[in-house]
Structure 1
Amino acid sequence: MGGMHHHGEGGTSRPETALTLLVLLAVAGGYLLAAHRARRRNPAQGWNPWRSASFLTGLALLALALVPPLAPAAHTDFRGHMAQHMLIGMYAPLALVMAAPVTLLLRTLPPARARRVTAVLHSLPARALAHPAVALTLSTATLAALYFTPLYNTAMAHPAGHWLLHAHFLASGCLFAHVIAGPDPAPTRPGVRTRLFCLGIAIAAHALIAQAMYGGFFVDIHAPIDQVQQGAEIMYYGGDIAELLLAGALVSTWRPERRTPRPAGRAPVPY
């Protein structure tokens, strides 16, 4: 990792911070309004307040990552970038996905529009995107391309590239959390064992990437060695905690399969 240096200077302006907070507040207000409408439409069913709390927690984690003091530090310190990555790509997505925003949307939309949303969820592109292999590739495999090629340095040299990284971390993190443990409808979601297997691959991949980063193997990051190593530690331990939380969310969705009892005296039908 010799020859590493600070990447381009940058920061977060006050208008950018204000706009970010305004957008997050607007999203929070939209979710709470939809939850209120869901309770009014069906008082008996209501809407679980823990879902709302989870969504607000996810937005708070995004705010923590995208405004000072962390946001400016992420432009000049690789440790700040990695902390952002953990918050935007792992912790916030889990909280947002567990809030079941698609289910809430379907409950509040008029029937005709809800059917259109359902049709989109059942479409071939949506099914392909929600395949565990695709979600795993977008959320995990792309990290190797980011940190072991010049891609990270190129993205950090331009403000637009930095925001594109944020968008990728958030979208891929939400997709992976949805596929693994999301409460929202997922027509092609596999069984618990398959999802645990995919989660195990993600855990192993994160650990390998963090260890290679700490040891300086294949790394192409323009930052001081101590920052890269400490960033790798943040990725290693922070990723473990986030993935344990995701595993807990997955296990909480497991329900034993109900087997229909076979009438006495009837032989099983061979397949």
Structure 2
Amino acid sequence: MHPHEHAAAGPPLLAVVAVLALAAGAVAYAAALRASRARSPWPVGRTLCWYAGLACAGAATAGPLADAARTGFTAHMAGHVLLGMLAPLLLVLAAPVTLLLRALPPARARRVVAVLRSPVARWGGHPVVAAVLDAGGLWVLYTTGLFHLVHASAPVALVVHAHVLLAGWLLTASLVGPDSHPHRASFRVRATVLVAFVAAHSVLAKWLYTHPPAGVAAADARAGAQLMYYAGDAVDVALMVLVAAGWYAASRPRDALAHGRARPGVA
């Protein structure tokens, strides 16, 4: 018997809370779309990203994959990639903050902006802090007894899954995204943090390949670690491309102005 099979209370509660939270997210985004319809059209791609991100989070926390993750390490890792990496990327690309500000009355929108510019938001939205919360949380999860506790306690399962999603969102939003970020770090800082995070994530996957959590079969551990490594790399490459594209887009006006000034006869 797998050491997780005795835990029956956690997943049902997680699934119920996840379904309710994701349904609320779906309704809220739709309501914001409707409230902002009088303004310029909202890009369809962003809407698709939002609902695709919710679908990824839903697959990881409710349904067949979530059930399989209770007893299979490879299925668990598939859920990790969906919940902690792909879902945050898609949700950030949906620009929910921009949509919220468009949908709110000016006075409420100003209050939201004030919160986003607060010292707490500045601290929490810094790439270094976000990366420590994300990568550090994963190392704690997989190298301590927390991994087994997640499958034995409903409240712990709920907190850990919420942390994985929110930490992934926080890191992704600190690095890329169409939402305006009042405290976004420089390209050099973001690129350095991303490289460090990729290294930490990859090293953890290699560690799990040979040092899986107690009770996980060797073959299952190897398959799960490989999935974490290669699927995680795919999302990380997408992040790298987006970070580089953002830097290129931001530097082009300055480059064009510099070249214009360098040309004789150009004002």
TM-score by length of 1: 0.86
Pick aligned residue for 2:32 from 31, 34, 38? 34
- Offset, 1:137: 0.3
- Offset, 1:147: 1.1
Q: Aligned residue for 1:127?
A: 122
Aligned: 1:97 with 2:97 = no
Q: Aligned residue for 2:245?
A: 252
Work out the percentage of aligned pairs sharing the same amino acid. Answer: 39
Give, as a single letter, the amino acid of the residue that structure 1 aligns with 2:44.
P
Pair 183,146 (structure 1): closer, same or farther in 2 beyond 3 Å:
same
Pick aligned residue for 1:229 from 213, 222, 226? 222
Find the residue that maps to 1:190 and give its secondary structure: coil
User: 1 CA distance for matches of 2:195 and 2:202?
Assistant: 11
More helix by share: 2
User: 1 CA distance for matches of 2:3 and 2:42?
Assistant: 48
Output aligned runs, 1:76-225, within 5 Å: 76-216=71-211, 219-225=212-218
- Offset, 1:154: 2.0
Find the residue that maps to 1:222 and give its secondary structure: coil
- Offset, 1:250: 2.1
User: 2 CA distance for matches of 1:20 and 1:263?
Assistant: 55
- Offset, 1:17: 4.8
Unaligned runs of 5+ in 1: 265-271
Find the residue that maps to 2:36 and give its secondary structure: helix
Pair 126,22 (structure 1): closer, same or farther in 2 beyond 3 Å:
closer
Give, as a single letter, the amino acid of the residue that structure 1 aligns with 2:232.
G
Residues 136 and 176 in structure 1, CA contact (< 8 A), matched pair in contact too:
yes
User: 1 CA distance for matches of 2:189 and 2:14?
Assistant: 42
- Offset, 1:157: 1.6
User: 1 CA distance for matches of 2:28 and 2:115?
Assistant: 21
Give, as a single letter, the amino acid of the residue that structure 2 aligns with 1:25.
A
Find the residue that maps to 2:37 and give its secondary structure: helix
- Offset, 1:8: 4.1
Q: Aligned residue for 1:268?
A: none
Residues 14 and 158 in structure 2, CA contact (< 8 A), matched pair in contact too:
no
Residues 10 and 76 in structure 1, CA contact (< 8 A), matched pair in contact too:
no
Find the residue that maps to 2:87 and give its secondary structure: helix
Give, as a single letter, the amino acid of the residue that structure 1 aligns with 2:146.
L
User: 2 CA distance for matches of 1:157 and 1:17?
Assistant: 15
Residues 6 and 77 in structure 1, CA contact (< 8 A), matched pair in contact too:
no
Unaligned runs of 5+ in 2: 263-267
